[in-house]
Amino acid sequence: MHRNRYKYREKGGGPVLSAGSGSGSNADMGSASTGLGYTELVFASDRLYGDPVRDLDVTVELVDEDSGRRKAVPAFWDGGAIWKARIGGDAAGTWTYRVVTSDPGANLNGLTGKVKVAGYPPLHPLWIHGGLRAYPQDYRLTYADGTPFFWMADTAWNGVLKADPADWEHYLKVRHEQGFTAVQCVMTHWRAMTADACGETAFAGEENIRINPAFFARLDAKVAAINRHGLVAGLVILWACTPGDVGYFLPEDDAILLARYIVARYGCHQVVWFLGGDGNYTGDKAERWRRIGRKVFGLLPKSGPGTSQGPGQGPAPAPGPAPGPGPAMGPAMGPGLGLGLGERLVTMHPGGQQWVADEFRYEKWYSFVGYQSGHGDSAKALNWLINGPPAGEWRNTPPRPIIDLEPNYEAHLSYHARRHITPHQVRRALYWNLLITPTAGVSYGNNSIWPWLTERGPAPGHQNIGISNAWQHGLYTPGIDSVTNIRRFFDSLPWWRLYPAPEMLLHQPAGDDPNGFVAAAKTDDNTLAVIYLPEGGKITLDISWLAQPDGEAVWYNPDAGIYMKPLPLAAAGGVCELSAPDRHDWVLLLRCRASEMCPSS
């Protein structure tokens, strides 16, 4: 089995912590327990409802005893007479609470108490900087304290759904060590996982659905484990590709019901929501998804005082300049009352090479532009990425991070040549995506990991993509070595200051052949540039922009993770020619010698 040459280590990163637990007394019909990064309130109703998720809305309104900050957290039904509300560790402190229900006669309605919300563990690499944000007028994801967050996700669509808990723990440990920062998973049954190991699904029926809390209870520990291992959870709520997928066939009201349930159950974690997965959200279909997004992330709970109309409760906003989502990522609920549903980032995961940024650009719940360059290898498919919408989006307003959530998967059967996608093609797609947009991150996928098979065979519902190996074969691969090298490389740079700079190239060395497309980016202070050459060769560059006349060039081997000896830049009239060491792919660093932000060789 291939093993990667080294593990990624974060600067100043703390250990992976084990979940703590504890309990404390609360009001008569409620109790509190503490998990890693969140606190859970548990309430017992004195009556059973025929369809609890539809028949009863339960919201916990909280007031911070010290600051007076107000927060509303939706509770979710967990079977029988039990309702739970989970409060994330970013709300650490002592809070008084009041339960408000849509049934005035419910024993929970008006219940009051006090709860101490545990903060995030100290020095944990994921939580030390606070929750993720996408601030207005910014192209990068950041933590709450402003620290840039580099999105480097692995794709394990079926991982939470199918993995044995011990296997899942091992997988997450390895991925964190390899430099990944997030894991992408599907949260309901779909065509690649039609029922769980118990033969159950997330809900029963195709309309007027009845949610199955036992299905989700079996996922709880595995979702929490993602954060525990220092990884953000990128969770798909409604996979929507084919008629067998829940986001495709569910009526709109049922889709909203299911989505709000999932968000209420898992919103306490460090998650990024993919409202839709692999669907068509363009044209007439876009309006349906805009309505779903507003009602899941932009509406107030149905009950409770001070519930003024929130964003999205009327017609779609007219096109035109609009601010991006702010730090709270949600609407106001009257004076100073934040909505628990809206505190995490949200995007759409569209079908292959379907551009949906224009459809959601002015939606307040839409945090960043997610897209799928997909698994094609034709000239048309490659040009869509390097010369199409992804490369031009950053010039639009309002600015948002732009991230490819599904590029070429390693070992996936390519759509056009019908050959397995190679580590070089994987690496090429990753670097292209990182340099044709303001650098924010990119996702990786492996054809053995995402279906989570225990033995070699076809992925269910995906018979045209080739045979997949058992999931263990995707743990250590040449493509993942490239991911580790990417993290090490970009972490050595002020990557959050990189912007596309194709004008540096006087011409593309491969001409119109997209396979040899050279991508270039430079920092906004003109002290550093990163240029990716997928086929080596010679390039002619305009370096008149360089902030200081004495610069140097460093070649970096992205496959081996090795820097070559720096070379002085020799320019005539601001133009220089440089040749890669060979015809393999290379990264070129141009930098001012005096720059303190550049890596040593």
Percent of the chain residues past pLDDT 70, beyond the cut: 86
Q: CA 341, CA 297: separation in Å to the nearest integer? A: 6
Q: Which one has a higher pLDDT value, 124 or 536?
A: 536
Q: In the predicted model, is pLDDT for residue 27 greater than 90?
A: no
Segment among 68-77, 130-139, 228-237, 441-450 with least mean pLDDT: 130-139
Helix spans in 99-233 (H): 159-162, 165-177, 213-228
Q: Which one has a higher pLDDT value, 313 or 73?
A: 73
Q: List residues bridging with 390 in a β-sheet.
A: none
| pLDDT range class, residue 31, cuts 50, 70, 90 | low
Q: Using an 8 Å Cβ cutoff, are 324 and 400 in contact?
A: yes
105-119 pLDDT tens trace? 999 999 999 999 988
Fold of 23-117: Immunoglobulin-like (2.60.40)
| pLDDT range class, residue 320, cuts 50, 70, 90 | very low
322-358 pLDDT tens trace? 333 332 222 222 222 333 455 899 999 999 999 999 9
User: In one letter, which amino acid is 214?
Assistant: A
Q: CA 84, CA 118: separation in Å to the nearest integer? A: 16
Q: In the predicted model, is pLDDT for residue 286 greater than 60?
A: yes
Q: CA 212, CA 256: separation in Å to the nearest integer? A: 15
Cis check for the bond before 566: say yes or no (omega within 30 of 0).
Answer: no
Q: Provide the CATH number for the domain formed by 499-592 in this structure.
A: 2.60.40.1180
Per-residue pLDDT at 135: 83
| pLDDT range class, residue 594, cuts 50, 70, 90 | low
Fold of 148-299+325-491: TIM Barrel (3.20.20)
Output 100-106 pairs: Cβ under 8 A, ≥24 positions apart.
100/58, 100/59, 100/60, 100/61, 100/301, 100/303, 100/304, 100/305, 101/56, 101/57, 101/58, 101/59, 101/303, 102/56, 102/57, 102/58, 102/302, 102/303, 103/55, 103/56, 106/45, 106/46, 106/47, 106/56
What integer is the mean pLDDT of 506-528? 96
- In the chain, CATH 2.60.40.10 sits at 23-117
150-165 pLDDT tens trace? 999 999 999 999 999 9
Q: Using an 8 Å Cβ cutoff, are 267 and 340 in contact?
A: yes
Joined together, the tokens standing for residue 179 give 């430099």
What integer is the mean pLDDT of 358-386? 97
Per-residue pLDDT at 130: 87
- In the chain, CATH 3.20.20.80 sits at 148-299+325-491
Q: Which one has a higher pLDDT value, 12 or 471?
A: 471
The mean of the pLDDT values for the chain is 87
Per-residue pLDDT at 41: 97
Distance, C-alpha 494 to centroid of its chain: 21
193-239 pLDDT tens trace? 999 999 999 999 999 999 999 999 999 999 999 999 999 999 999 99
- In the chain, CATH 2.60.40.1180 sits at 499-592
Q: In the predicted model, is pLDDT for residue 16 greater than 60?
A: no
**DSSP β-ladder status, 70-74 and 337-339:** parallel
Secondary structure of residue 402 in the 3-state scheme:
strand
Q: CA 324, CA 123: separation in Å to the nearest integer? A: 30
| pLDDT range class, residue 12, cuts 50, 70, 90 | very low
Q: What is the pTM of this model?
A: 0.89
Across 89-231, where does the E strand assignment appear?
Answer: 93-101, 112-117, 132-133, 141-143, 148-149, 151-155, 182-186, 203-204, 210-211
Percent of the chain residues past pLDDT 90, beyond the cut: 78
